[in-house]
Structure 1
Amino acid sequence: MEIRVRAPAKIILAGEHAVVHGSTAVAAAIDLYTYVSLSFLSPSENDQTLKLQLKDVPLEFSWPVARIRDAFPNLDSSVASSPSSCSLETLKSIASLVEKQKIPEANIGLASGVSAFLWLYTSILGCKPAKAVVHSELPMGAGLGSSAALCVALSAAILSLSDSISIDFSQKGWQTFRDSELELVNKWAFEGENIIHGKPSGVDNTVSTYDDLAITEKEEKMGELMEMNQGLLQCMGVSHSSIETVLRTTAKYKLYSKLIGAGGGGCVLTLLPTLLSGTVINKVIAELEACGFQCLIAGIGGSGVEVSFTGASW
């Protein structure tokens, strides 16, 4: 059986630096997704391995389940319905398994995500042979929550093949999870984020799991809030010359923009009003692309993580 899961990216409209210190942030999902397909290997394939394929890099990793079992002697004591943190000892074992995959130096930043996959899969499903395939529409390290979307999608996919989540296998297309199931997905995703980031705020994985925010009527106020927040971020010194170039360009068209993520580069969010003409949008994009920037258009709000078994397009 193969299941497919998608989890959205996130943006923080205000408070991205304050939220890690316990303050409130305004966040929303956008309709750019990370997709995970997961399937058990059939006995007829006679393949006793756990595989992970990253389609966008591309890289593929494989671990004999016997080696995983040796690395995690207490694996049978894991309970999928009770998310737990990865111990330092277990993290060292995971690091050893990942190191043996010989990830190219140019892609070494992916090691923490591969480690999160190993932890989530083995903690929830143990040592069953399987193959996971990951594809993402999100640029990495740009402040869009790519690692959180990965952890949410992985957690939801793995849990969907466990006894902890009940899914209607007869339903076609994308379907959502129940509230209690979303809570479980979110808790496991946060543990994956802990492996990747150390001390995440939890906002990114929560937005990717639950979000249903839609911004339609208060665009002017939202734009003013973004402008104020950008001013504060500039005072903090986290802007960048490339960010300032984007801000100057969009300001010419009277559009509100702000950096998202940690700053110092990454992404800039520009709010496109509902009534803004396509001609203006095309002009802005053309001017930004002429400066060497990549432009992505995405809607704000919508569903959080979703699962499918048949007929869902990637």
Structure 2
Amino acid sequence: MLSDVLLVSAPGKVILHGEHAVVHGKVALAVALNLRTFLQLQPHSSGKVSLNLPNIGIKRAWDVARLQLLDMSFLEQGDPTSPILEKLEKLKEVADFPEDCTDHERLAVLAFLYLYLCICRKQRWRAEDLELINKWAFQGEKVIHGNPSGVDNAVSTWGGALRYQQGKISSLKRPPALKILLINTKVPRSTKALVLNVRNRLLKFPKIVAPLLTSINAISLECERVLEEMATAVPAPEHYLALEELIDMNQHHLNALGVGHTSLDQLCQVTMAHGLHSKLTGAGGGGCGITLLRPDLTGPEVEAVKQALTGCGFDCWETSIGAPGVSVHTAASLDAPVWQALDGLCAGQWASSS
């Protein structure tokens, strides 16, 4: 049981190259962002385990004594680390959802309860045990996404940059800390539907789409080569020019696959007007995009781009790639303003009964 407050964090991630092509066996490059989700665990004596996710408006609590009295044997049926549908259906009864609970709230709470109950019953783990952290994070991904690739949880656990192909994940050595803009178009989309559309287009036009996927694979491999070269030598202007060309080519290919969107076209046009290069990241059809920031850009130039993007109604964050993975923080390791802002208002906060 915790004797003091524990604060941990994990980075977000974006796909640099390989969206959709990775579904068809090609290489994808994923990188950790210096935009982090924080989890604060704090003991208290209320006899409850409380979950507070302020960014998505979730605040729930359960009596620990009640949870201990419930029949949880179903969690141990089959593979105890696999959240199959039958287990999740039974777990909904434990969650006791209110009638006005939305789907994303239900999934978030189910993921928490599944991990909390399974770990408390079956596991004793240490924060530094990254393999175990990654394993449990993957189970949370399964609850929410059904059949995830494993890229998201792996990048957030280990940080840095990863190469993913056909279920095999390997780390890129010392990726350069490239500065980027992460832009949210705020246009919702269905990843499942977009993946299906690409598959249908491949079946309809195999001689056209298959070479596009092969070309995207080549873009990922060339980007990997450039990043490794930048990691072993002083990054030069030609490195950034190469990365910008790869970004442009990949964006055009993704549009040809049918996963573009007018909002993403607008994003690319706005940044190109400022001499910068952008592409969608992830599923496409809206969602998010990334813009590479060259090291020669001045602060006012970057601010001008950000203002132009926010003027289009987009959300925009300036960050960098290659962030460290899951981390444990203390008050001494964070700046005072950061600690004060996080105290009691983390992206995730879990308070357990002592």
TM-score (norm 2): 0.67
Higher relative contact order (CA 8 A, sep 6+): 2
Preserved CA contact (<8 Å) 2:8 2:329: yes
Alpha-carbon deviations, 1:14-38, whole Å to 9, x = none? 0122224443211111110111111
Preserved CA contact (<8 Å) 1:20 1:201: no
| Residues 58-77 of structure 1: pairs in structure 2 closer than 5 A | 58-74=57-73
1:23 aligned onto 2:26: yes
**1:51–1:20 distance in 2 versus 1, CA, 3 Å:** farther
Alpha-carbon distance between aligned partners in 1 of 2:111 and 2:75, rounded to the nearest angstrom:
19
Larger radius of gyration: 2
Higher strand share: 2
Alpha-carbon distance between aligned partners in 2 of 1:183 and 1:117, rounded to the nearest angstrom:
19
Q: Which residue of 2 aligns with 1:248?
A: 269
| Residues 194-213 of structure 1: pairs in structure 2 closer than 5 A | 194-213=142-161
Preserved CA contact (<8 Å) 2:306 2:316: yes
Alpha-carbon distance between aligned partners in 2 of 1:103 and 1:31, rounded to the nearest angstrom:
37
**1:38–1:75 distance in 2 versus 1, CA, 3 Å:** farther
Alpha-carbon distance between aligned partners in 1 of 2:70 and 2:22, rounded to the nearest angstrom:
36
TM-score (norm 1): 0.75
Identity of aligned residues (%): 38
> How far off is 1:75 after superposition?
7.6
Alpha-carbon distance between aligned partners in 1 of 2:259 and 2:147, rounded to the nearest angstrom:
20
- Out of 90, 93, 97, the position equivalent to 1:101 is 97
**1:201–1:21 distance in 2 versus 1, CA, 3 Å:** farther
Q: Which residue of 1 aligns with 2:50?
A: 51
Preserved CA contact (<8 Å) 1:75 1:126: no
**1:278–1:164 distance in 2 versus 1, CA, 3 Å:** same
Q: Which amino acid aligns with 1:123?
A: C
Structure 2: stretches of 5+ with no match in the other structure? 162-174, 179-234, 343-354
Q: Between Structure 1 and Structure 2, how many residues are aligned?
A: 258
Higher helix share: 2
1:296 aligned onto 2:293: no
Q: Which residue of 2 aligns with 1:190?
A: 138
- Out of 33, 38, 42, the position equivalent to 1:39 is 42
**1:189–1:72 distance in 2 versus 1, CA, 3 Å:** farther
Alpha-carbon distance between aligned partners in 1 of 2:300 and 2:292, rounded to the nearest angstrom:
16
Alpha-carbon deviations, 1:173-225, whole Å to 9, x = none? xxxx3xxx111111111111011000111111111111224335233222222
Preserved CA contact (<8 Å) 1:94 1:115: yes
